[in-house]
Amino acid sequence: MRGRASPLGAAPAPASAPSSRRLVTGGTRGIGLATAELLVAGGARVCVTGRKAEHLDAALRRLGGPEHAIGVCGSSDDESHQATVIDAVIASFGRIDLLVNNAGINPAFGPLGDLEPRAARKIFDVAELITFLLSDRSDWITGQVVTIDGGALLAGPS
């Protein structure tokens, strides 16, 4: 069976594979929710994370409820939240085939030259370091890791 081209740029196991289990951080709105919807539409079970409980609840309803999706509320840069996510995924799915790190923040607006180092570090910690920390325990990820940096795009002076 040939997999379709993935909107994430790669074609791992087809999303319709019965054993397909995915994690989408920052999966309650925007790009993250759209990604989770595509994965569920293809037959995957999905865990989504988000900071706001009301957005998480709405996303889970939109994804079809517990038959198709579970959710973990919290901040991706919080180590206890990361542990809770891993525990929830292991308890519900046993493992995941794909981690889509879509969690991101944008704590500052304006020219890149005006960005405070502390704000730059926060952007990096959420957008990049989280992928490393979540994938550090290889016992629960059996597939690919993809990072989407939509919320952390920075532009230099024009």
CATH 3.30.460.30, applies to 21-149: no
Statement: residue 88 has pLDDT above 50 = yes
* 93 pLDDT more than 90: yes
Residue pair 27/74 in contact (Cβ under 8 Å)? The answer is no
Domains in the chain: boundaries = 21-149
Burial of residue 69 (CB within 10 Å: 0-12, 13-18, 19+) is buried
> What is the chain's Cα-based Rg?
16
Q: What angle do CA 29, 73, 19 make, to 5 degrees?
A: 80
Quick one: pLDDT at residue 3? 39
On average, the pLDDT of the chain sits at 79
Q: How confident is the model at residue 149 (pLDDT cuts 50, 70, 90)?
A: low
Residue 81 sits at the vertex; the CA angle it makes with 77 and 87, to the nearest 5 degrees, is: 135
pTM of the model: 0.76
Q: If you write DSSP's letter for every residue of the chain in order, what string do you get?
A: -PPPPPTTS---S-TTSTT-EEEEET-SSHHHHHHHHHHHHTT-EEEEEES-HHHHHHHHHHTTSTTTEEEEES-TT-HHHHHHHHHHHHHHHSSEEEEEE--------S-GGG--HHHHHHHHIIIIIHHHHHHS-TTSEEEEEEE--GGG------
pLDDT tens readout for residues 75-87? 887 889 888 998 9
pLDDT in tens, 27-77: 999 999 999 999 999 999 999 999 999 999 999 999 999 999 999 999 887
